[in-house]
Amino acid sequence: MNIILNYRTIKVIIVLILAIVPLALKMLLVDNFLHSYTGIRLFGATQVLANDAIIFSAVMLLLYLSYLSRMPYIASILLRVLSIFVVFLYAVDVYVIRNFNTHLVVTDVIKYASYSLKYIQQTHNGKGFLLLIIMIVVVGFMAQSIFSKYKIKNNSTHRYSIIMVLSIFFISNFADKGNDKYVHSWVYKNFINYNLIILSEAKEYSNEFIKNFRFSEKELCYSKIPEKRNIILLMVESLSSYQSSYFSGIKNWTPNLDIIASKNISYKNFYANGFTTEDGEISLLTGKLPIYRPSSYTNGGGTSFNGFFGVEESLPNILKKKRYTTDFLTTADLSFANTGEWAKSVGFNYIEGHEYPYYEKWDRFHFKAAPDEALYNRVLDRINHHDNNNFFIFIKTVSTHHPFINPENKNKSEAEAFKYADKQIGLFYKKLIDMGYFDKGMLIIVGDHHSMVPLKNEEVELFGSLKASAKVPMIVSYGDKNHSIVNEQYQQIDIFNSLKGLVSNTQCSSNWTGDILSGNPAQYIAHRRGDNRNIISVFSENKDYSIKLDGDNTRLTTNDTDIEIQELIIKKINAIRISSKSHQ
């Protein structure tokens, strides 16, 4: 009997450890994260404990109920499965926070679930087998616990169990309930509460609201002579201002990029319009802000590029009308996020990903991608392929995607990954000069979004917390022929607008869309945030605004005494989402 009791005690201890480990990891992770900003220790850890106590009290309650003598055996199994599933989701949430600086979100699960196992296998390499063995052992132990027929019969065990559940539940009363009280409050929210908070993003506009909604945006246009230039648009994965000494002075990981910037036209106040690669592609290639229509989980809310397929006035389609050939080149798996289908829908003549035979001799990394060096070699081949025809080549790099693996030595290091990518950019740039590309060509280098890692304290101090999460480098190069530093604010959709105007006889700009080539900045810049998915940041030169997406009740959460500006910003955001909805 003592052996049986000891075995049961050991099982209880193991179950508690398995449940507590992800909680402890999250407490440590969040506390370190917030300590870097506040200088205060234990604030993050205590808030995680308070916010997550409701989840663990529910788990403990489910387990307790499953062991009651009156509980049917089948019901006991279901309760235990549910409790273990909740702990599993919690552990996945901690993994997502640690690796991608965001929470586990239902729409992301729908969007990325089919590729997630492939991604983990590609990024963890040999460790994948070890993780599989650990998972099998844990699942086996859990399964044994699930099907146990043990029932609580001791009154003291009942008392201790109830006291434990109530005590953990009591801790939840100390959770910060303010959704917008602190800019980084998202990180210590539990994943269930976080998903409920951002549900307002999916709230539909009423038919009456849409019927009565009116919005017009004035454009300033002028006539000009069209130009015929070959165009290479290089979108560098996770390239952020903090990595560059030239663009921020924080890190010195991009010396070659910095030299290119210093000899060409550099934009030191430039912003990504979203927080994902898809957002960057939408902004750069369609000129539309990546602010999605209200979408529930059942009508496209978890679909990549939802609402942005088949854009007729895309950059490839515009350029094709001007007799350009258009290429979409990457080493990534084009099936991920339906990227290949989307690129085809917006009009590219030629689309190439990891499947191209040239890449077979190269090592593969995340998204089955060969390293950036191989991609630039292919770009040079495509330039030669085009001969004397005007062309537009969109390049999407992969090597600096999280988890930051240096392809040359396989080391996992953010600094090494970006130094590798920077070296390849420098070599590619030199080859373009040597082959005479800039005689009639231009190169634009831009980051797709801020790297999905916690903001550096230096970034927050330099740019402010909202702008720091959107800051990326941008360079326009004619081959060291023009040099200037632009400090006015610009954004990714301005690149689309400028290239559209470059090849046309009319160039336009507005309060929300600038022109980087003629020097007309937008008055307002919008950024889709990755921390609080239901909030859009809007930047002006003098003030930052936060807009909560909430259907008819979409509103500013920041105070502004100018009612006219408030209405302008809110109406613009509503117009984007309603317009997107009407074209589905």
pLDDT score recorded for residue 345 = 97
For tokens 């898809």, name the residue.
Answer: 278
Q: Report if residue 549 sits inside a domain.
A: no
pLDDT score recorded for residue 111 = 72
Q: Report if residue 372 sits inside a domain.
A: yes
Residues 162, 263 within the same domain: no
Residues 155, 241 within the same domain: no
Q: Residues 330, 340: contact at Cβ < 8 Å?
A: no
Closest Cα partner for 512 from 528, 497, 533?
A: 497
What CATH number has the domain bearing residue 278? 3.40.720.10
Residue spans of beta strands (DSSP E) within 193-307: 219-223, 230-236, 265-267, 270-271
Residues 234, 353 within the same domain: yes
Final residue in a domain of this structure, among 140, 158, 177: 177
Q: How far is CA 47 from CA 28, 348, 491, in A?
A: 11, 49, 35
Closest Cα partner for 464 from 527, 547, 548?
A: 527
Taking the alpha carbons at both ends of the chain, their separation in whole angstroms is 67
SS3 content of the chain, % helix, strand, coil (to 5): 50, 15, 35
Q: Are strands 474-477 and 555-556 parallel, antiparallel or unpaired?
A: unpaired
Residues 240, 343 within the same domain: yes
Q: Report if residue 479 sits inside a domain.
A: yes
pLDDT score recorded for residue 197 = 87
Residues 132, 247 within the same domain: no
Q: Could you tell me the residue range of the domain that residue 141 belongs to? A: 2-177
Contacts of 16 (CB under 8 A, 6+ apart): none
Q: Residues 107, 301: contact at Cβ < 8 Å?
A: yes
pLDDT score recorded for residue 180 = 52
445 has which bridge partners? 234, 475
Return the half-sphere exposure (C-beta side, CA atoms, 13 A cut-off) of residue 82. 16
Closest Cα partner for 514 from 531, 529, 499?
A: 499
Q: Are strands 555-556 and 544-548 parallel, antiparallel or unpaired?
A: antiparallel
Per residue of the chain (584 residues), give pLDDT as tens.
444 455 665 666 666 666 678 888 889 988 887 777 667 888 889 999 999 999 989 988 988 898 888 899 999 889 988 988 888 888 888 888 877 778 888 888 877 766 666 666 655 555 545 555 565 566 566 666 777 777 887 788 788 888 988 998 999 888 876 555 566 788 889 999 999 888 899 999 999 999 999 998 999 999 999 999 999 999 999 999 999 999 999 999 999 999 999 999 999 999 999 999 999 999 999 999 999 999 766 666 667 898 999 999 999 999 999 999 999 999 999 998 899 999 999 999 999 999 999 999 999 988 889 999 999 999 999 999 998 889 999 999 999 998 899 999 999 899 999 999 999 999 999 999 999 999 999 999 999 999 988 888 899 899 998 999 999 999 999 999 989 999 999 999 999 999 999 999 999 999 999 999 989 999 999 999 998 889 999 999 889 999 999 999 999 987 766 788 889 999 999 999 998 644 44
Final residue in a domain of this structure, among 503, 525, 547: 525
Final residue in a domain of this structure, among 122, 150, 177: 177
Burial 4-35, CB ≥16 within 10 A → b, else e: eeeeeeeeeeebeebbeebbebbbebbbebbb
Q: Coil, strand or helix: which one is 450?
A: coil
Residues 245, 97 within the same domain: no
pLDDT score recorded for residue 498 = 97
Alpha-carbon gap, residue 166 to 217, rounded angstroms: 56
DSSP symbol at 578: H
Q: Residues 405, 123: contact at Cβ < 8 Å?
A: yes
Residues 228, 172 within the same domain: no
Alpha-carbon gap, residue 271 to 544, rounded angstroms: 13
Q: Residues 524, 572: contact at Cβ < 8 Å?
A: yes
Residue spans of beta strands (DSSP E) within 338-390: 350-352
Residues 106, 52 within the same domain: yes
Alpha-carbon gap, residue 531 to 103, rounded angstroms: 8
Q: Residues 427, 376: contact at Cβ < 8 Å?
A: yes
At residue 414's C-alpha, the angle toward residues 411 and 415, to 5°, is 90
Alpha-carbon gap, residue 449 to 577, rounded angstroms: 21
Based on the structure, what is the number of domains in the chain?
Answer: 2
Structure-block tokens of residue 49: 């404990």
Contacts of 118 (CB under 8 A, 6+ apart): 368
C-alpha dihedral over 179, 551, 303, 334, to 10 degrees? -80
pLDDT score recorded for residue 304 = 84
471 has which bridge partners? 271
Contacts of 355 (CB under 8 A, 6+ apart): 334
Give the rounded distance of the alpha carbon of 292 from its chain centre.
Answer: 14
Residues 23, 106 within the same domain: yes
328 has which bridge partners? 351, 394
DSSP symbol at 348: -
Q: Report if residue 281 sits inside a domain.
A: yes
pLDDT score recorded for residue 226 = 94
Residues 260, 334 within the same domain: yes
Q: Residues 197, 106: contact at Cβ < 8 Å?
A: no
Q: Report if residue 584 sits inside a domain.
A: no
Alpha helices (H) in 172-270, listed in sequence order: 191-197, 207-212, 255-263
Q: Report if residue 294 sits inside a domain.
A: no
Q: Report if residue 543 sits inside a domain.
A: no
Q: Report if residue 459 sits inside a domain.
A: yes
Residues 419, 514 within the same domain: yes
Alpha-carbon gap, residue 430 to 457, rounded angstroms: 35
Alpha-carbon gap, residue 97 to 19, rounded angstroms: 18
Phi, psi dihedrals of residue 139, rounded to the nearest 5°: -65, -40
Confidence (pTM): 0.89
Alpha-carbon gap, residue 552 to 208, rounded angstroms: 10
Q: Are strands 506-510 and 490-491 parallel, antiparallel or unpaired?
A: unpaired
Residues 334, 389 within the same domain: yes
Q: Say if residue 554 is exposed, middle or buried (CB neighbours under 10 Å; 0-12, 13-18, 19+).
A: buried
Q: Are strands 535-539 and 525-528 parallel, antiparallel or unpaired?
A: antiparallel
Contacts of 13 (CB under 8 A, 6+ apart): none
Q: Are strands 490-491 and 270-271 parallel, antiparallel or unpaired?
A: parallel
